Amino acid sequence: MEIDLMDKILSLAKRRGFVFPGSEIYGGLQNSWDFGPLGVELKRNIKAAWWDRFIRRRPDMVGLDASILMNTKVWEASGHLKKFSDPLVECVKCHKRFRGDRIKTEDGCPECGGKLGEAKQFNMMLKTRLGATEDKASEVYFRPETAQGIFVNFKNIMDTERMSLPFGVGQIGKAFRNEITPGNFIFRTREFEQMEIEYFIPVPEKDKDWNNYFEYWRKEMLEWISSLGVDVKKEIRELEVPEKDRAHYSKRTVDFEYAFPFGEEELYGLAYRGDFDLKNHGETSGADLKYKDPVSGEEFYPHVIEPTFGVERSILAAMCSAYTEESAPTAEKGEEETRVVMKFPKWLAPVKAAVLPLSKKEELSSVAKKLADDLRNDLFVDYDETQSIGKRYRRQDEIGTPYCVTIDFDSLEDKKATIRDRDTMKQERVAIAEIKSYLLERFKEQ
């Protein structure tokens, strides 16, 4: 049943232009995905809302956009070259490879039942070369997390921004991991985007000092998750990650697991990284990455709390939570049919309003096009004049458009249009001249 939901979402995503298989005309490329016209809107809405909420509206936060390719010394100092690995097991019979911690190795190969070899540590850093030479010195790595760009720019930010503790630096950008088994649609891919915060705090004297910040960010993250339309109480499980499963830098990690159709899996993470990163980069590079207390003059490496959010996993969770099937009367005959509605929160919906003239006749379409053009200055608007009005409503429901505006023959007389609400399906007659303010008001309310 639940897997069935995943199939439905996958099919809707492809059919309606949210997500396409990557390089599809050449047979695809190992679980890579492209975001289509609606998917890119969803993605942009998520990134813009995150930036607004966590960076722009907060006096204690600044932003950064660091390079994806960084000096290899960064990855030596951060520990990624030695420790960023997953256990890999290979079937001695069919030679398929699996993540040792994700399968029951004692059951043998999940594909052919053959014997599995010993687990080896497989480093997930993705390598490439810079410049025209082929030697070892030209090798560089794609970043596996955006976080390191923040740590290596700590001094630059301190020199230019005069921030005092506690303060944070946020960044949105691509990260790359040579995952052994990517899969589950956009859940685990080798190229993905992260939205990360490194929140620097004074050196804690007691556990409670850093735990208070940790708990603060835990609440902030839950509020953000709920803003995606996720029912936090029902769909999220907070998992205190045991020491043996934590990343090499973490002293405490809480994973926010979402009930995906394929099981409860990590949506986001919150980690206490101590002073691991700044200290290692300071000592390895020789740069002064210490913070100088403006009052006492004391110099020290601040500690850091790291809330981290995956963009694609945000999209997948939002799509799973929004997907609804309900019984509804058909517009034409009054019979019942199943309507599929993506009940995205209004701010997240890719298309905010659809303008639909009842017929293609010029007298209606000219009024409707004029209205759509005017609305487009402020909202992402769709214009559709093909097929029956009932089919057009269903099409908009399926992509989560909160409002449909219909221009009919009465509109030519009374200068009004019908606005239909996606969730209640209630219809209201509103003067065409007031439609823009009517809609903008409703988007403000959310």
Where on the chain is the footprint of ligand GAP (CB under 6 A)? 145, 147, 177, 179, 188-189, 192, 194, 196, 266, 268-269, 306, 308, 310, 312-313
| Consecutive H or E run containing 25 | none
Angle between helix axes 311-322 and 37-51 (nearest 10 degrees) is: 110
CB of 317 to ligand GAP, least distance (A): 9
How far is Cα 293 from Cα 440, in angstroms, rounded to an integer? 46
* Residue 303 near residue 200 (C-beta atoms within 8 A): yes
> Cβ of residue 260: shortest distance to ligand GAP, in angstroms?
12
Q: How far is the CB of 148 from ligand GAP (least distance, A)?
A: 8
Strand order in the sheet with 427-431: 381-383, 353-357, 403-407, 416-421, 427-431
Q: How far apart, in whole angstroms, are the C-alpha atoms of residue 150 and residue 374?
A: 42
CB of 181 to ligand GAP, least distance (A): 10
Q: Do 266 and 194 contact (CB within 8 A), yes or no?
A: no
Measured from the CB atom, the residue of 196 and 275 that comes closer to ligand GAP is 196
Q: How far apart are the first and last CA of the chain?
A: 32
For residues 32 and 285, which CB has a smaller minimum distance to ligand GAP in the complex? 32
- Smaller CB separation from ligand GAP, 105 or 250: 250
Among 23, 21, 25, 26, which Cα is nearest to 10's?
21
Cβ 282 to ligand GAP shortest distance, Å: 19
CB closer to ligand GAP out of 308 and 418: 308
Q: Shortest Cβ distance from residue 432 to ligand GAP (Å)? A: 44
Contacts of 126 (CB under 8 A, 6+ apart): 141, 142, 144, 176, 177, 178, 190
Q: Compare residues 198 and 408 and give the one whose CB is closer to ligand GAP.
A: 198
Cα(102)–Cα(38) distance, integer angstroms: 33
Of 310 and 357, nearer to ligand GAP (C-beta) is: 310
Whether residue 390 contacts residue 360, with contact meaning beta carbons closer than 8 Å, is answered with no
Using the minimum distance from each CB to ligand GAP, give the nearer residue, 266 or 378.
266
Rounded Cα distance, 213 and 420, in Å? 44
In the complex, the smallest distance separating the C-beta of residue 188 from ligand GAP, rounded to whole angstroms, is 4
Which CB sits closer to ligand GAP, 229 or 269? Answer: 269
Q: Which is nearer to ligand GAP, 281 or 422 (CB)?
A: 281
**Diameter of the chain by CA atoms?**
79
d(CA 185, CA 370): 40
Separation between Cα atoms, residue 181 and residue 175, nearest integer Å:
16
Smallest distance, Å, CB 306 to ligand GAP?
Answer: 6
Q: Please give the full DSSP string across 39-80, using - where no structure is assigned.
A: HHHHHHHHHHHHHIIIIIT-TTEEEE---SEE-HHHHHHHTH
Query: Minimum distance from CB of 81 to ligand GAP (Å)?
Result: 15
Residue nearest to ligand GAP (CB): 310
